[in-house]
Chains A and B, each alone.
Chain A
Amino acid sequence: MTTAQQPPTPHRGQPAWAAALDTRDRAWWNDLAMRGVVLAGGMSAVLFIVAIFGFIASQGFEFIVNRLDLGELLLGVRWEPTVEPPQYGALPLIAGTGWITAVAMAIAVPLAFGAAIYVGEFARGKQREWLKIGIELLAAIPSVVWGVIGLHVMKPIIQELFGVQVGLNVLNAGIILGLMAAPIMATIAEDALKAVPDSYREAAEALGATKWQVVWKVVLPHARPGLSAAVLLGIGRAFGETIAVLMASGHRLMIPESIFDSAATLTATIAAELGEAAVGGDHYQVLFVLGMLLFLITFAINLTADWIVRGRRSKA
């Protein structure tokens, strides 16, 4: 082959096909356009977040600037927005939310992980398919139904079982929330387990590891970021749930001292009081400040989830 036989090109002595390297063809432009489209999609999410936060902040803005006592709001123990003078201490609501979420997670984590490990690692064939369908159906039950279950099923059971007067309490709401959050957590956890390559299981099994040892030593450690994400998502779910918790918790505006005390949460309080508060009044504005608080806590949970997943990756 000699250069003389090559067709002439702008680049001395180079073959004709090389021109394609500097030609932006349809696929190239299409790629650029689609990048633009998906970028717009991604940005719109940010836009909505900012807009919603902006709306919530604007509704409570005047109060925040002029009369907000942050120490009182976060640490004050009396939430009495309708008496004179009104008290806006949200600690009972924060404590109620914290207690109920903690009970919910104590119930949901073992249930969800147990279900995920069984479905993902042990169940086979038809049984596995049926279980998955069952979990998905469970996740689809509307929250008001869970509220009714708390009100009419859990309440008498708790009263009977523990011999307490009040059946609508932290325990009741925690159980209801835990049962609500578990299916979603189980689904996400199962996805995390499914993402562990089978070659890892085979390699461990070839060493004589029992099925449980494979799960414990190989599968769970590898799936940890996904499992953490499942827990945090569950916490977010429990945190944000409103109607079921309003029905099952007894909605008492005081700091609970045990799981048998009634309690109120941030979300339930907003839902219960916003309709009665005069638009633009202090009470109305404070409820929006609570909304911001919820927003910030959720944001912190999500950042933590992100951080856990990322921290794990950089170590790998």
Chain B
Amino acid sequence: MVSSPAAPFAQDAAAPALLTVRGLSIRYGAKVALQGVDLDVRPNEIFGIIGPANAGKTSFLRALNRMDEFVPDMRVDGAVTFAGRDLRTIRNLYALRSHIGVVFPLPVGLPLSIYDNVALAPRLRGVKAKSELDGIVERSLRRAALWDEVKDRLKNLGSLLSGGQQQRLTIARALSQEPELLLLDEFSIAVDPVTTMRIEEVLKELRQELTIVLVTNLVQQARRLAARTAFFLGGRCVEIAATEDLFNGGAKDQRTIDYLEGRFG
């Protein structure tokens, strides 16, 4: 396993952003969950989002792959573009979602075999050859640091794995569709610390192939992984900065400083 340096992965700041967010607001009925968020996510960066519960982090991720379709009363205003396309006018939402992998906080092992869990997305897009599927399954499970534990029982039900294993299965499934963008929502909540570290190593390697938006409840995780980090609080994006600056006393907003120092209720 190649371990990358903690320094931000070399990016071309001038390259067009993979994701641009302008004036994004999200409401559930009358309740405002997020207001006026502007940010860019560059290709091949890990973009961290930190903030206390109910800050609007999950809602933000929902808007990125148009999950508002599934949430009653959820209204999204503002402009989000992905690869230059405006999400509001995209013609094939399913293609959008197949290019964006999502990992939710609680693992979701589908009631299929481990193999079929990982092979689902490739099969949906028409991959049939057994050898090709085998390759994708092994590669995805290896990248999610799960292969060694399950390689002898790929036929077993994925929903019967332990919590941490199911979460890695979820990550493997997300990677099996070769996404351009990976959204991770507090993935380590249900994972033990050792596994968390292994997955973090994997994420560092994945930077070379895809872009990651990492919502995390562990500020140190953002510090370890993210090139830039945004601090969300009470439905607003308070501050966005290079992660190193944030953690080295460069935070401009007092609320960010308080949160980073753990002085926040």
Interface of B is mostly: loop
- Evaluate contact between B83 and A28: CB separation under 8 angstroms: no
Distance, CA A146 to CA B85, complexed state (A): 66
Contact of B92 among A2, A17, A28 (CB under 8 A): A28
A22-B84 contact given A1-B15, A27-B124, CB 8 Å threshold = no
- Count how many chain A residues have C-beta atoms less than 8 Å from C-beta atoms of the other chain: 19
Contact of A23 among B12, B15, B83, B95 (CB under 8 A): B95
Distance, CA A20 to CA B92, complexed state (A): 8
Nearest Cβ in chain A — how far from B94, in angstroms?
A: 6
Is B77's CB within 8 Å of the partner chain A? no
Is B16's CB within 8 Å of the partner chain A? yes
- Evaluate contact between B99 and A17: CB separation under 8 angstroms: yes
Is A15's CB within 8 Å of the partner chain B? yes
- Evaluate contact between A25 and B84: CB separation under 8 angstroms: no
Is B235's CB within 8 Å of the partner chain A? no
- Evaluate contact between A12 and B91: CB separation under 8 angstroms: no
- Evaluate contact between A11 and B44: CB separation under 8 angstroms: no
Distance, CA A275 to CA B189, complexed state (A): 71
A12-B84 contact given A1-B15, A3-B15, CB 8 Å threshold = yes
Nearest Cβ in chain B — how far from A280, in angstroms?
A: 51
Chain A residues, Cβ within 8 Å of B124: 27
Distance, CA A17 to CA B95, complexed state (A): 10
What are 30 residue pairs bridging A and B, where the CB atoms are less than 8 Å apart in the complex?
A: A1-B15, A1-B44, A2-B12, A2-B15, A3-B16, A11-B83, A11-B85, A12-B16, A13-B16, A13-B84, A14-B16, A15-B83, A17-B83, A17-B99, A17-B180, A18-B83, A18-B84, A18-B85, A20-B95, A21-B83, A21-B85, A21-B90, A22-B85, A22-B90, A22-B91, A22-B92, A23-B92, A24-B92, A27-B124, A31-B94
Interface residues of chain B, those whose CB is within 8 Å of chain A, are: 12, 15-16, 43-44, 82-85, 90-92, 94-96, 99, 124-125, 180
